[in-house]
């Protein structure tokens, strides 16, 4: 890589993301972690729905184009300006920057140097940063060199499953007890009934199934009902519409004897299936609809060629019934 030239771009409207879209998408092919949550399409939807007041997009360039990108924002909290990564940890399970793999820490340090010098801030709070991200050592070493105290703590558990090429091969990766339980609960959901597993493939499908998803999501737990505010519904609808057009939305419904009893919303992103949210009707809990829906989502992920099934944040016991192992995110404060 040749000598870097720093440039800074302030996001004032969606066209700022559009202007960088091609180079941003290209950088996703070369960065150390190409998660959906740092993609221009995801952040554009988020910005359109939540209109952050002071967002910043810092880029580092060489003669080959953009080699690093750091999406940031400042939030006023308790009379302080808090510098964070762009987005919201309530709806983004991973938050990070982007940089070419081989020089990631060096690039990120240069971007953070620019950010610390040119953005007004009182303290820093980063959430949901993947534990292995080079962003953490890049920023912490820079802050410490300036005499700033840094605290990095464990934040979330994000269980994942490595997927083989077939459903049968996947089942063989599980323990005998796990295989037995998944098969038993699938039989319970399916036997003695007419059942259907459908996945939205068109705008008409989405208009039919998104209200079903919202109903089942809110019915399955009180905290989910509180989470799904009108603003959050609008955001989820925007995500669903955008990623359906791209062929990356997997909104699926499990129907038994004419009743929709479980739903999952997932995204197929660069070989990874992310189980973003789900719900089921508690009145049908005897049929294990939630477990059946997850099992069928994993089957679909394998059929689509996904290599990783990511349950995203949370250590709910059901995830480990499917053979998940933990990955982690960190929280940085300074």
Same domain flag for 107 and 168: no
Tens of pLDDT, residues 37-82? 999 999 999 999 999 989 999 999 887 789 999 999 999 999 999 9
114 and 83 fall within a common domain:
yes
10 Å CB burial of residue 188 (0-12, 13-18, 19+) is middle
Pairwise CA distance, residues 265 & 272, whole Å: 14
> Is the separation of the CB atoms in 267 and 36 below 8 Å?
yes
How many domains are there within the chain? 2
What's the rounded Cα separation, in Å, for the pair 182 and 320? 11
Residue 323 forms part of a structural domain? no
Tell me the pTM.
Answer: 0.93
Are residue 231 and residue 294 in the same domain, yes or no? yes
Residue 328 lies in a domain: no
Does residue 131 lie in a domain region? Answer: yes
For 74-131, what is each residue's pLDDT tens digit? 999 999 999 999 999 999 999 999 999 999 999 999 999 999 999 999 999 999 999 9
Host domain of residue 127? 5-155
**Do 170 and 143 lie in a common domain?**
no
* b/e burial code for range 215-228 (CB count within 10 A of at least 16 → b): ebbbbbeeebeeeb
| CATH number, residue 250 | 3.40.630.30
* 199 C-beta neighbours (distance < 10 Å), count: 16
pLDDT digits (tens, 9 = 90+) for 146-178: 999 999 999 999 999 999 999 999 999 999 999
Q: Are residues 26 and 144 in the same domain?
A: yes
- For residues 125 and 79, state if they share a domain: yes
Residues 118 and 65 in one domain: yes
Does a structural domain hold residue 316?
no
CB-CB contact of 276 with 312 (8 Å) = yes
The 10 Å Cβ neighbour count of residue 151 is: 9
Structure tokens at 78: 């308790």
């Amino acid at each position: 890589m040749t000598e870097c030239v720093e440039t800074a771009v302030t996001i004032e409207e969606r066209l700022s993301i559009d202007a960088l879209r091609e180079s941003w998408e290209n950088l996703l092919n070369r960065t150390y972690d190409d998660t959906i949550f740092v993609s221009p399409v995801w952040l554009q939807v988020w910005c359109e729905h939540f209109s952050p007041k002071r967002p910043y997009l810092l880029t580092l360039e060489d003669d080959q184009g953009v080699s690093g990108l750091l999406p940031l924002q400042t939030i006023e909290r308790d009379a302080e300006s808090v510098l964070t990564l762009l987005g919201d940890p309530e709806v983004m399970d991973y938050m990070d920057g982007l940089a070419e793999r081989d020089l990631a820490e060096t690039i990120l340090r240069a971007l953070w140097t620019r950010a610390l010098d040119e953005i007004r801030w009182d303290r820093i709070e980063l959430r949901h940063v993947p534990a292995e991200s080079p962003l953490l050592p890049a920023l912490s070493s820079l802050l410490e060199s300036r005499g700033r105290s840094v605290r990095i703590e464990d934040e979330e558990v994000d269980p994942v499953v490595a997927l083989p090429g077939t459903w049968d091969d996947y089942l063989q990766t599980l323990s005998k007890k796990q295989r037995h339980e998944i098969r038993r609960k699938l039989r319970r959901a399916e036997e003695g009934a007419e059942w259907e597993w459908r996945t939205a493939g068109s705008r008409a499908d989405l208009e039919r199934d998104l209200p079903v998803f919202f109903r089942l999501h809110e019915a399955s737990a009180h905290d989910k009902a509180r989470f799904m505010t009108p603003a959050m519904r609008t955001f989820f609808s925007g995500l669903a519409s955008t990623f359906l057009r791209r062929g990356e939305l997997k909104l699926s419904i499990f129907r038994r004897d004419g009743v929709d009893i479980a739903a999952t919303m997932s995204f197929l992103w660069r070989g990874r299936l992310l189980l973003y949210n789900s719900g089921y009707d508690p009145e049908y809990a005897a049929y294990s609809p939630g477990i059946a829906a997850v099992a069928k989502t994993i089957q679909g992920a394998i059929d689509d060629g996904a290599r990783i099934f990511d349950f995203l944040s949370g250590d709910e016991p059901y995830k480990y019934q499917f053979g998940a192992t933990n990955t982690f995110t960190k929280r940085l404060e300074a």
